[in-house]
Structure 1
Amino acid sequence: MAVVSYALFGIAIFFFGGWCFVWLMHLIAIFNAKLKLHKKIQLIPPEEPLPGVSIIKPLVGVDPNLFINLETFFTMNYPQYELLLCIHDESDPSIMLVKRLMEKYPSVDAKIFIGGMKVGVNPKINNMQLGYEAAKYDLFLVSDSGIRMKEDTLLDMVLSMKDDTGLVHQMPFTCDRKGFPATLEKVFFGTSHARIYLSADFFRINCPTGMSALMRKKPLDEIGGIKAFAHYLAEDFFFAKSFTDRGWKLRISSQPAWQNSGHCDISSFRNRITRWGKLRFAMVPHTIFFEPLSECLFLGIFVAWSANFLFNWDCFVLYLVHVLVWFLLDWILLCIIQNGSLPFSKGDFVVAWIFRESSALYLYLKALFDPTIRWRTGTYKLRWGGVAEEIKSKL
C-alpha cells in the first residue's frame, strides 16, 4: 500500500507541476505577443539599400480568394523583388489568374514556372524547385497561395532579418471572414495554436511554419538547396532545423501570416489540424504523450484529481475555475493578436472556443491512430523522424 501511495503522490505532483507550467506558457505567450507583434516599422536610412527578395509562390488550383490574395503580392511597397509563380501543371486554372495579374501590373518582375521538377516525395518542393533554381536574390520568401499580404509586410520581414538570422517566420493567423468555420479558425490560430507558437518562439524552440517564411538562400544552397528536404513532408520544420544546427537564429515577424483561403469549412479545418498532428508525432515523438496535457478540458480532469489528492481541494470548483481562467487568458491573447475589433461577438467566441476545446481529444486520437497523410495529389506514410513515403497517387 505504501508503494501505491508514493506512486499516486508522484503522479499527482507531476500533473500539478505540469499545470503550473501550462499557466506559465499562457503568460509567456501573452507577453511575447505584446512584445513582438504589430510593432511600428522602423525605416532604415536611405543610404542603406534594402536587399532584393525572390518570392516563390506554389500554386495548385484556385479558390474564390486566390486572385485578391495574389494581387497583394503585386502591390507591395518594397523597392526590389521578383515573383516566381510555380504552377502544378499546364492545365491548372490558376495560370489564367496569374496571367491576368501580370498584364495588369507589367512593372512587377513576375515569371511563371509550370510543372515543377520531381526531386522527392514532397509535392510542394517539387512544385517550387524550378522557381528556386531561377531565384536571383539571396533572400527568398516561400509563401502559400492562401496568404494575403499588407503593403508593408515584406518590408517588416526583411527588417527582421538581422545579420545572425537565417529565417524569419510569420505566426499563422487569419483574415476576417464570415461564417462559423472562419470564426473557428480565427479562434484556434489566435488561442491554442498561438499559445504554443509564441511560447516556443520565446524559448527559441523550432516552431516556424512554411506558409510564409523568409530565408537566406546561400546557406541552403550549401547543403543542396530545397531539394535536400524533398523526402520530408514537413519541410518547414527541417528548413528551420538546418539553420539552427549551424548557428543561425530564427526570428518572428511582427506581422502575422494572414491566411485568407476562400474555402473555409469545418471538415477541411479538422483534416488540416489532424495532418499537422501526424507530422508532429513522427518528427517529435514525445508530443504524443505531452500534447493532450496541453488541452484545457483534458488537463483539467487530471489537475482536479491531483489538487484534491494533494491539498483536498474541491474537484468541481477547481475544474470550473481552471476552465474559466483558461478561457479568459485565451480571449486576452486573441485580442492582442487581432490588434483591433474582432469580426464576431463574444457569444460567437464562446461557441467556437467550446467547440474547439471539446473536439481537441478526438482530433488527437484521429491523428494518432491513422498515420497516413492525404495531401495535395498523393497519400503518404510517415516514418519516425519525419521521412515520408508515397504510397498512393491520385489519378
Structure 2
Amino acid sequence: MEPTFAAALLSIALLLSNLASILLASLKLKRPARIAPPANAPPVSIVIPARGVEPFAEETLERAFSLDWPRYELIFCVAHADDPVVKPITAAMARFPAIRARLLVGDDRISGNPKLNNCVKGWEAAHYRWVILADSNVLMPSDYVQQLMAAWRHGTGLVCSTPIGSRPDSFWGEVECAFLNTLQARWQYAGEALGLGFAQGKSMLWNKPMLDANGGIRALAAEIAEDAAATKLVNGLGLRVNLVASPFEQPLGRRTLGEIWSRQARWARLRRVTFALFFAPEILIGAAPPLVLALIAAADAGVSLPATAIAVLVAAYLPECALASAKGWQLSPRTIPAMMARDLMLPAIWARGWLSGAVDWRGNVMTIQTKTVAELEETPSGA
C-alpha cells in the first residue's frame, strides 16, 4: 500500500505545482493595454539581427517602422550581403524614409553563437544609451518601447520579453504555441514571481553605458546562449532581470515536427549547459509524469484507469487553457491535442539535453559548451 500511496501523493504534488506555477504567472502577466510614451521619452536604438526571410517578414518589418516613440533608430544586421532578407529590409527602409534606419553587413566571430556575432556591429553602431536587441520575427506593438521601458525599475539590469506564439498554420504550429505560451512563458513568469527572473533573448532592453562598463556586448559571449550570459552578468551585479507585463507576439505560420524538435532540442541543450541545476527537474514538468504515477497508483488500488487518466488530464490542461484564455493567447480546438503532443515530446527533449553533440541553428551548426570570454578571444575567427 505504501508504494501506491507514494505514487498517488507524488502525482498530486506535481499537479499542484503545475497549478501553482499557472497562478503565479497569472499574477505577473497582464493583457495588452496601450501605454502612451512619456513626455521626456529618451531616444532608443533598436538592433535587429536577421537571417533569411521568415513568415510574416513584411508585417514584422512594417511594425518596426511604425512604433509610437518620439525618437528611435533601427539598426538591421546581417552576416552576409547576399542574404535574401536584405531585399525586404531595404524595401522597408525606402517605404519609411522618416525613420532613421541602417543596414549593417558583416560577421564578427566573438563566439559560437551566430546571433550574438551578428549583433556586435549593431551594438557598436548604436547612438543612444538605451538599446533594444530584438529578434527579427517579433511582431512589435506600437507601444513596444513603452512596455519595455515601463518594466525598468530601481535595481533593474535588464528587461526582456518571452515570445508568445500566434497564428499557427498547422497542427505542429499549434504544438509550438503550446511550448512557447502556457509552458515556457508560464514558467518564466512564475520564476520572476519567485525572484528567479532570467533573460530571454527575443527582446532585451539594455542600458548601454551599464553593459559597456561591464564588458559590453562581448561579455555575452561568456556563454553559448546570450540570454544565459546576460542573466549571470546582471545577477552578478546585484541587479534583476524584469519581464514586460504583456509579452510580445511571434506569429508562427506553418511548422513541422522536425523544426520543433530541432528548436526545442537546441534550447534544452543550452539550458542544460548553462543552468544544469534548474534544467534537471524539467523531467517532472508536463502531464506525463503525474499521469504515469496516477495510473500506477490506480492499477494497484483497483481504480478505473480511464477515469484516472481523464481526471489527471483535466487537472493538467484545464488550468493551462484558462491561462491562455485570460491572457488572450492562442486557443483553439487543437490546443489540448497540441498540449498532449508537447508533453509526449518533453521527456525525449529532456534526455536530448543531456547528450553531447552539435545542434543546428537556422543553418549554422553549433557545438554547445561553456566558454569564458578569454577563451573565445583566443579562438581563431574561422573556427
SS of 1:260's equivalent in the other structure is strand
CA deviation after TM superposition for structure 1 residue 262, in Å? 5.1
Q: How many residues align?
A: 378
How does the TM-score come out when normalised to structure 2?
0.87
- Asked if the contact 2:147–2:245 (Cα under 8 Å) also holds between the matched residues in 1, the reply is yes
Alpha-carbon deviations, 1:239-270, whole Å to 9, x = none?
A: 12211221222221122221124553221111
Mapped pair 1:365 → 2:351? yes
Question: Matches of 1:321 and 1:385 in 2, distance apart?
Answer: 46
Q: Using a 3 Å threshold, how does the CA distance of structure 1 residues 386 and 283 change in structure 2: closer, same or farther?
A: farther
CA deviation after TM superposition for structure 1 residue 207, in Å? 2.9
CA deviation after TM superposition for structure 1 residue 370, in Å? 4.7
- Asked if the contact 1:74–1:108 (Cα under 8 Å) also holds between the matched residues in 2, the reply is yes
Mapped pair 1:382 → 2:373? no
- Asked if the contact 1:234–1:386 (Cα under 8 Å) also holds between the matched residues in 2, the reply is no
Partner amino acid, structure 2, of 1:237: A
SS of 2:103's equivalent in the other structure is strand
- Asked if the contact 1:377–1:394 (Cα under 8 Å) also holds between the matched residues in 2, the reply is no
Question: Matches of 2:44 and 2:201 in 1, distance apart?
Answer: 17
- Asked if the contact 2:167–2:252 (Cα under 8 Å) also holds between the matched residues in 1, the reply is no
- Asked if the contact 1:177–1:183 (Cα under 8 Å) also holds between the matched residues in 2, the reply is yes
SS of 1:140's equivalent in the other structure is strand
SS of 1:147's equivalent in the other structure is coil
Q: Using a 3 Å threshold, how does the CA distance of structure 1 residues 88 and 286 change in structure 2: closer, same or farther?
A: same
- Asked if the contact 2:159–2:241 (Cα under 8 Å) also holds between the matched residues in 1, the reply is yes
Alpha-carbon deviations, 1:294-351, whole Å to 9, x = none?
A: 1211233235546998xx6848354442222101111112212325xx563x2x2232
Alpha-carbon deviations, 1:28-80, whole Å to 9, x = none?
A: 4334325432253554763xx01221111001111242122111100111111
Residue 330 of structure 1 aligns with which residue? 320
Question: Matches of 1:18 and 1:133 in 2, distance apart?
Answer: 51
Percent identical across equivalent pairs?
A: 22
User: RMSD between aligned alpha carbons?
Assistant: 3.2
Residue 244 of structure 2 aligns with which residue? 253
Mapped pair 1:23 → 2:16? yes
Spell out the pairing of 1:22-61 with structure 2 (5 A cutoff). 23-38=16-31, 40-41=33-34, 43=36, 46=39, 49-61=40-52
How does the TM-score come out when normalised to structure 1?
0.85
- Asked if the contact 1:233–1:386 (Cα under 8 Å) also holds between the matched residues in 2, the reply is no
Question: Matches of 1:303 and 1:125 in 2, distance apart?
Answer: 44
- Asked if the contact 1:86–1:116 (Cα under 8 Å) also holds between the matched residues in 2, the reply is no
- Point out where structure 2 has 5 or more consecutive residues left out of the alignment: none
Alpha-carbon deviations, 1:122-172, whole Å to 9, x = none?
A: 211211111101111121111111111111122111122123212111132
Partner amino acid, structure 2, of 1:197: Q
Mapped pair 1:12 → 2:6? yes
CA deviation after TM superposition for structure 1 residue 285, in Å? 2.0
Spell out the pairing of 1:229-308 with structure 2 (5 A cutoff). 229-261=220-252, 264-287=255-278, 289-303=280-294, 305=296
Q: Judge which range, 77-86 or 113-122, deviates more.
A: 113-122
SS of 1:230's equivalent in the other structure is helix
Residue 80 of structure 1 aligns with which residue? 71
Q: Using a 3 Å threshold, how does the CA distance of structure 1 residues 212 and 298 change in structure 2: closer, same or farther?
A: same
Question: Matches of 2:237 and 2:283 in 1, distance apart?
Answer: 32
Spell out the pairing of 1:216-235 with structure 2 (5 A cutoff). 216-235=207-226
Q: Using a 3 Å threshold, how does the CA distance of structure 1 residues 250 and 226 change in structure 2: closer, same or farther?
A: same
Spell out the pairing of 1:63-142 with structure 2 (5 A cutoff). 63-142=54-133
